[in-house]
């Protein structure tokens, strides 16, 4: 029996031992899915605190419940560890480590390189190695397959190497690890075959493609598509501000087209671990082929400048009340990078907070999912959201449209609001300015002051 037969039999009989390197928002759900499919899974992480919490049945990942974790532990199917030595007795090794960007916008491959080195030190015949970390096309061939060959083992005969993009959308109540179609591409057809067999035991649908490079590019196209379309609608928002057209109304109406259109919405910028970063991998690698991508760079520029645009609109709003940014009190509602999650990575709210402070504003934030942030090396606690407190701010910026916010109540108690998400749609009040709509002229603002003050009286009587 050759190595391919061996690993195939072990996978099919679910006797294969699986090691998932990296127990974050990708690796832990995958480990749980493999354990639920009947495999014994080592969950490897370099962070001892994470390993301790996992061993205690304490999940720190939004999409993995404590009950699910404790059940996998009790069944002996899941073994969290910091010991890479378990790879020596693992048949399948899946690498789910971060791939951040350096300040110079080129990929930081150190996490992948570190994980590959640990696998290589325990490399053995009949092993299946899958990389899931988002990266530039060619990584799997150059950083994994090449290392296997250097160790004297043949890729596609002794060892099987694949790439499979992670498609985890944290907090998505519909699409989880097992019901999201799983793309996989091997360095050789035999690799694709073995990888497809493995994921076929765990996922509802597997989509094999012709190579690891195709699989790597699939992920980058998916997320570049989003970044570019978000950049497009943000540019449209800036244009509509100039032309006094409500971009939100435009998008909503365009979205009624039942084919050939997909709505994207303006915002204060883009955050997260995927959309701001993934396209830059492609842009960076393409330069090695003397190809200079325009869409990605342009989208990155437009999206990256949205926080500054928001800060400029805060200044315009304060100006209507004859107030400079310096010394004004500004409250940012929402620090997470998107609604209803607690993740602040690359969040545009952080940039808005930073820029307003730089201009001398006295800035606070409130986010029901984010109790504190680390800014300029210090921990900044969020403030409580109270009726009296709201009224003390010269401007309130709605940066993340969490479902938990009571928008009519906020509008009833805030003096001046800048809405960057159209979250106050349908909530009246001349004191609500909006991204994608021009700031009124001081003359128009003064003319409508009476109406606003009458509304405030109405608001107070209406109370909340
Ligand atoms: N954003 C906009 N306008 C939009 C959509 C998003 O400004 O129309 C902003 C968000 O506020 C956020 C950033 O862009 O700051 C990214 O938002 P996202 O909806 O793309 O959410 P992510 O970053 O969690 O993206 C993930 C991705 N999943 C994976 O990479 C596996 C992405 O491919 C998914 O399409 C996305 O979730 C999703 O659909 O929720």
Q: Which residue among the candidates 191, 240, 274, 395 is catalytic per the annotation?
A: 274
Strand partners, 41: 18, 78
- The two beta strands, 40-44 and 182-186, are unpaired
Which pair of tokens denotes residue 372?
A: 């504190």
Q: Are residues 223 and 245 in the same domain?
A: yes
Question: Which among 82, 50, 56 is positioned nearest to 69, based on CA atoms?
Answer: 56
156 vs 150: CA distance, rounded Å: 14
**Helix, strand, or coil here: 331?**
strand
Count of Cβ atoms closer than 10 Å to residue 294 Cβ = 8
- Return the CATH number at 242: 3.40.50.720
- 311 is written with which tokens? 């800060």
One domain, residues 268 and 364: yes
Domain hosting residue 299, numbered range: 211-464
Boundary-marking domain end, from 210, 229, 260: 210
Residue 370: closest CA among 274, 436, 271: 271
What tens digit of pLDDT does each residue of 407-418 get?
A: 999 999 999 999
pLDDT at position 458 is 56
Residue nearest to atom 28 of ligand 1 (CA): 169
> For ligand 1, is residue 96 a contact (CB within 6 Å)?
no
Tens of pLDDT, residue by residue over 56-109, are 999 999 899 999 999 999 999 999 999 999 999 999 999 999 999 888 878 999
Do 140 and 241 lie in a common domain? no
- For residue 30, the CA-to-ligand 1 centroid distance in Å is 20
How many domains, in total, are found in the chain?
2
Long-range contacts of 6-9 (CB under 8 A, 24+ apart): 6/126, 7/91, 7/92, 7/126, 7/127, 7/128, 7/160, 7/194, 8/194, 8/197
Atom of ligand 1 nearest to the CA of 421: 7
315 and 422: one domain? yes
Residue listed under structure tokens 């304060």: 318
Going from the Cα of 275 to the center of ligand 1, the distance in angstroms, rounded, reads 6
Residue minimizing CA distance to atom 37 of ligand 1: 169
Q: Is 274 a catalytic residue?
A: yes
pLDDT at 462: 41
Atom 39 in ligand 1: which residue has the minimum CA distance?
169
Same domain, 94 and 61: yes
Q: Which residues of the chain have pLDDT under 50?
A: 462-464
Q: Cα-flanking dihedrals φ and ψ of residue 21, to 5°?
A: -90, 115
362 and 439 Cβ atoms separated by less than 8 Å:
no
**98 and 221 share a domain?**
no
pLDDT at 464: 33
Ligand 1 touching residue 166 (CB < 6 A): yes
141, 253: one domain = no
Question: Which pLDDT belongs to residue 375?
Answer: 87
């Amino acid at each position: 029996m050759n190595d391919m037969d061996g690993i195939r039999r072990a996978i099919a009989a679910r006797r294969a031992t699986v090691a998932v390197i990296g127990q974050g928002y990708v690796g832990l759900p995958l480990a749980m899915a493999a354990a639920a499919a009947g495999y014994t899974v080592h969950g490897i992480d370099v962070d001892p605190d994470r390993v301790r919490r996992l061993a205690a049945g304490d999940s720190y990942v939004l999409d993995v419940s404590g009950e699910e974790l404790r059940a996998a532990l009790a069944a002996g199917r899941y073994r969290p560890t910091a010991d890479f030595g378990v790879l020596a007795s693992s048949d399948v090794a899946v690498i789910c480590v971060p791939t951040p960007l350096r300040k110079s916008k080129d990929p930081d491959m150190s996490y992948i390189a570190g994980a590959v080195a640990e696998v290589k030190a325990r490399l053995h015949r009949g092993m299946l190695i899958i990389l899931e970390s988002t990266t530039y096309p060619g990584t799997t061939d150059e950083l994994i397959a090449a290392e296997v060959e250097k160790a004297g083992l043949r890729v596609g005969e002794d060892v099987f190497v694949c790439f499979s993009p992670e498609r985890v959308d944290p907090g998505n109540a519909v699409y989880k690890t097992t019901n999201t179609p799983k793309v996989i591409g091997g360095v050789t057809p035999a690799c694709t075959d073995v990888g497809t067999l493995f994921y076929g035991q765990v996922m509802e649908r597997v989509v094999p493609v012709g190579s690891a490079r195709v699989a790597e590019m699939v992920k980058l196209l998916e997320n570049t598509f989003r970044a570019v379309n978000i950049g497009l609608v943000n540019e449209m928002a800036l244009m509509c501000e100039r032309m006094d057209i409500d971009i939100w109304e435009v998008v909503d109406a365009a979205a009624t087209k039942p084919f050939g259109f997909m709505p994207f919405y303006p915002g204060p910028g883009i955050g997260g671990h995927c959309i701001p970063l993934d396209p830059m991998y492609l842009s960076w690698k393409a330069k090695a082929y003397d190809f200079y991508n325009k869409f990605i760079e342009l989208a990155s520029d437009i999206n990256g400048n949205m926080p500054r645009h928001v800060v400029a609109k805060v200044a315009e709003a304060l100006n209507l009340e004859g107030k400079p940014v310096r010394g004004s009190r500004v409250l940012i509602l929402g620090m997470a990078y998107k609604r209803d999650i607690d993740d602040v990575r690359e969040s545009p709210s952080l940039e808005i907070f930073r820029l307003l402070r730089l201009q001398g504003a006295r800035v606070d934030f409130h986010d029901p999912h984010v109790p504190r942030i680390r800014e300029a090396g210090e921990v900044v606690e969020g403030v409580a959201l109270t009726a009296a407190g709201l009224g003390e701010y010269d401007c309130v910026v709605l940066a993340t449209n969490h479902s938990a916010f009571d928008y009519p109540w906020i509008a009833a108690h805030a003096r001046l609001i800048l809405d960057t998400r159209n979250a106050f749609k349908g909530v009246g009040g001349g004191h609500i300015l909006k991204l994608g709509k021009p700031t009124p002229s001081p003359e128009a603002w003064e003319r409508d002051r009476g109406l606003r003050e009458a509304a405030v009286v109405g608001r107070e009587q209406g109370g909340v």
